[in-house]
A and B are shown apart, each in its own frame.
Chain A
Amino acid sequence: MQVYVCVKHVPDTAASIKVEGEAGYSEGVKYVLNPYDEYAVEEAVRVVKEQGGEVIAVCVGKASALATVRSALAVGVDRAILVKIDEQLPDACVVAQALARAIEKDGQADLVFAGRQSVDSEGMQTHYRLASALGLPVVSDVVAFSLKDGGAQVERECGGGAREVIEVSLPCVIGANKGLNEPRYPKLPDVLKAKKKPVEQIDIASLGIEKPESGCRLTKLSAVPDRGQATMLSGGVREMVEELVRILEQDEKVL
C-alpha cells in the first residue's frame, strides 16, 4: 500500500507564544511534530507494517520544518516530501492544495492520514480540503481504524462519549484523534537512520497552486493574559465551601 501521512511543524504546546507585529509570532521557541499527527504517523506505519508498502510523509512548512519531517522518519516513515512555504501561519486552503499536488505528483495514494487539527492555527479543516482536492472520502476524529472487505471501518468520536461506526471506501483520508493508538518513541539508532532517509524538498511555487488565497485573512494576533492570583478562601472546609457557594451564587451569578 502507498500510504501518505501529512505532518505539521508547530510550536511545542508548552512554549510561550510571543506576538510579533500585527499577526506574527516569535519563532524562537521549541518546535515539535503536531501532537495529533503523531497518531496519524503511528497508524500509517502500523498499516504498512501489516499490509506491506511504503509510508511517505508530506509536510508544508518553512525550511526549518525539516526537523519535524526527520522526527517522522525516525518512527518508521520511509521517505518524505517537504513543500517549502515562507509563511508562519499559511491558509488551510493553500496548504491543502499544496499537499494534494505534492501527493498526486508523487504517486497513487491508497490511504492518507493526517491529524484532526494542528495546535498552532487550529483550523480543523485542511484534511477535509485535501480529500476534496484529491476527490476522496474523508472521516475525522477517528479513534479506531481497520481495513475490512476492501474498504475501511472506523470509529469516530461524536460527542457525549458516543462513537459513530463508519464504513469508508478506499482510498480515503483519515483525520486521527488521540486514542487511535499509542505513538512510539524514536530510538537513537532510528534517529540516526532517519538522517539518511530521502527527503524531497520542493518550493510551493513549483506546484502551480490555482487559488493562492481564500478570502479570509488573519489581521491580528493578540496574547491572552492569564487571570492572575486567585482569591484564596480561608477557614475550615465547611466555612470555605459555604463562602465559595455564596460567591458563585450571589457575586458571580454562575450557579
Chain B
Amino acid sequence: MAKIGVWIEMGQDGVKEANLGVLTAAAGHEVYALVCSGDAEGCREVCGKYGAAKVVALAAESGALWDSPDLAARALAAAANEFDLQVVTGLGSLNGRDLLARTAAILDAPLLQDCTAVDFTAGTVEKSHFSGKTVARFECRAPLWLCSLRPNAVEPQESPVEAEVVSYTAPVSGSGGVKVLEVRRDSSGVMELTEATIIITGGRPMDSAENFQLLHECAAELGAAVGASRAAVDAGFAPHSMQVGQTGKTVSPRLYIACGLSGSVQHFAGMKTSKVIVAINTDKDAPIFGKCNYGIVGDLFEVVPVLTEVLRERA
C-alpha cells in the first residue's frame, strides 16, 4: 500500500466532481486529500466517501496559497515530505497540471501529465504521445513521483472510509515572483470542456458565432459543454478556450457529438479517447464517418434542432 497525496481542486460549489475519478484511482491506498483552498472540513465527507482517510487543510506560514501558484506548489512539496508521500497526484486540469509541474520541479521528482490510466501498486501509467496517435506506457521507480490524470479517465466509484481533517501549515511564504492579481471570467456558468462528460462541437459550417446558440440550446438538454473546431475558432466563430484538438483542448467525454466536422487528424488528436463519437455531416464521404461510432448524413442546421426537440420531449 502506497501513501498517496491527492490534490483536491475546488470549483464554484466545493469539490470539483472531476476529482472523484482521481480519488477512485487512488482508493485502497493510504490516501491524503490535499486541500489548498476553501474549506477542508467541507471536503471531508466527499473525500471519505471516495476513499481518503485523511483530509489535509494545507496553509502557508504567511500568504494565501491561491494568491501565488508558486507558493501553493511549495506548500504541496512540503506536505509531500511531511507526510512521507510516495505519489502526489491530481486532476489534469489546467490548474492541476500547472501546480503538479511546479511541485515536481521543486521536488526534482519525475512527473507524468494527463495520464489516461494509472496503477499505483505497480507504479505504471499510460499517457498519450503524438496527440493520441500512440499510447506510451511508463514505469516509475523513483521513491516519490507525481502524475496528473486526464479528466474522466477513471469512472468515479465510492469506497467509503472514515475521514479525519488534519491541519498542516507548511514552512513556506512569499509569492516567489508570481502573483495572481485577478481571475477574469468571460461569462458565468461556462462548463469547462475538459471536465464535461458530454460535448457537442461545431465546425466551420456553423458559419457564425450567433449560430453556436443552436449548439448551446442542444447542450442545455444534454448537460453538455460546447466545443469548436480549429477552423471555427480561426474564423472567429468561437474563442480559443472552446477549441478541441491539436493546439486546443484534449477531451475525453463519454459522448462526443461532432457537427459539421470533417474529421482531421488534428481534431481527432483532441477527442479520440471519447467513449462514443457521433458525427453529423452533409457529406456522406466525410473522413469522420470512417472513424466514429454513429453517423448521420444531414445538415446540422436541420438535425441539431430536432435532436434538441427529441431530448426535450424525453425529459
Contact = CB atoms under 8 A, between A and B. Distances in A.
Contacts of A254: 198, 254-255, 275-276
Contact of A240 (B186, B246, B303): B303
A141 B207 CA distance: 28
Give chain B's interface residue range (CB within 8 Å of chain A). Answer: 35 or more
Interface stretch (B39-47, B54-62, B138-146, B158-166): B138-146
A248 B131 contact: no
Nearest to A125: B101
Contact of B306 (A166, A219, A241): A241
B72 to A, nearest CB: 13
Interface in B267-315: 268-269, 272, 275-279, 288-298, 302-303, 306-307, 310-311, 314
B185 A162 contact: yes
B137 A124 contact: no
A91 B195 CA distance: 28
Interface stretch (B19-27, B174-182, B209-217): B174-182
B247 A178 contact: yes
Nearest to A155: B184
A231 B295 contact: yes
A104 interface: no
B95 interface: yes
Interface in A86-120: 89, 92-93, 119-120
B229 interface: no
B2 interface: no
A210 to B, nearest CB: 10
A196 interface: no
B49 interface: no
Given A13-B266, A163-B183, A254-B254, A238 B306 contact: yes
A121 interface: yes
A230 B292 contact: yes
B142 A215 contact: yes
Contacts of B235: none
Nearest to A171: B177
Interface in A213-238: 214-224, 226-233, 237-238
A63 interface: no
A119 B290 contact: no
Given A222-B135, A227-B292, A247-B294, A13 B198 contact: no
Interface stretch (A53-61, A76-84, A127-135, A201-209): A127-135
Contacts of B38: none
A150 to B, nearest CB: 12
Contacts of B110: 93, 214-216
A224 B183 contact: no
B290 A228 contact: yes
Contact of A211 (B101, B108, B186, B241): B108
A121 B111 CA distance: 13
Given A19-B134, A227-B277, A215 B141 contact: yes
Nearest to A143: B240
Contacts of B204: none
Contact of A216 (B93, B128, B139): B139
Given A230-B289, A230-B291, 13 more contacts: A35-B246, A132-B105, A160-B192, A164-B182, A165-B181, A167-B178, A216-B139, A221-B129, A222-B137, A228-B291, A237-B302, A247-B294, A248-B278
29 contacts: A14-B266, A19-B134, A93-B110, A120-B129, A122-B128, A123-B111, A124-B113, A128-B105, A129-B101, A137-B70, A158-B183, A159-B94, A160-B185, A161-B186, A162-B186, A164-B182, A167-B181, A168-B178, A215-B110, A215-B142, A220-B137, A223-B133, A223-B134, A229-B290, A230-B295, A238-B310, A241-B307, A254-B254, A254-B276
Interface of A: 11, 13-14, 16-17, 19, 23, 25, 35-36, 89, 92-93, 119-125, 128-129, 131-132, 136-141, 143, 153, 155, 157-169, 172, 178-179, 211, 214-224, 226-233, 237-238, 240-242, 244-245, 247-249, 252, 254-255
